[in-house]
Amino acid sequence: MKKVFLIGAFMAGAFFSNAQTFKPFKVDLAAGYAVPSGKGSKGGVVLAIEPKYAINDNISLGLRMEAAITARGYVASNGQEVSGDVKASASYLATGDYYFNTNKFRPFAGLGVGIYSLASASVDMIDEEATALDAGTKFGAAPRAGFEFGHFRTALEYNIVGKSGDINNNYFSVKLGFFIGGGRLSK
């Protein structure tokens, strides 16, 4: 029993160690390309800000606030039938990232979970129906991976939000950005 306690105490000490190489506070700023899931996916833009706190050199916790606007469309082979929709989502996710090393080039993997506020407008010229507006809030998740190099950051994320009626709200994003703060501590 004493060995189990000592091993647990050692692991907890290593996990919460204050001997950090990097400054604990930083704010990520990113922009990128968003690709919605489903038939007729076209793409869109994504903007994000994420304040973070590193509990040690390998683990950081944050709050991602992101806006994504995506479009999708369909034109039948006869050229007469057109349908499409534009989606906007704002997300507020609690995030966690694990950094695999403490070098200048730092690959990471992470996950975010939280709330997505959704709005969409649809046009269906097949049946000559009017534009419809739909809105709602859903719980979702975003697994991600990427790397940091110096103060620059790139990430791939897949936002899993589910469907609202016939509209699939999931989207994949490729983001490039930089962060303020963080960086190596002065020696």
The CATH number covering residue 36 comes to 2.40.160.20
Q: What per-residue confidence (pLDDT) applies to 168?
A: 80
Domain span at 72: 22-181
- Residues making up the chain, counted from first to last: 187
Q: Is 16 among the domain residues?
A: no
Q: Is 11 among the domain residues?
A: no
CA 178 → CA 28, 111, 128, distances in Å? Answer: 6, 19, 46
Q: Give 141's strand partners.
A: 113, 160
Q: What per-residue confidence (pLDDT) applies to 61?
A: 97
**CA–CA dist 44, 141 (Å, integer):** 19
Provide the domain count of the chain. 1
Q: What stretches in the chain show pLDDT beneath 70?
A: 1-19, 39-41, 73-83, 123-134, 187
Q: Is 14 among the domain residues?
A: no
Q: Is 85 among the domain residues?
A: yes
Q: What is the pTM of this model?
A: 0.79
Q: Is 109 among the domain residues?
A: yes
Q: Is 29 among the domain residues?
A: yes
Q: What per-residue confidence (pLDDT) applies to 91?
A: 96
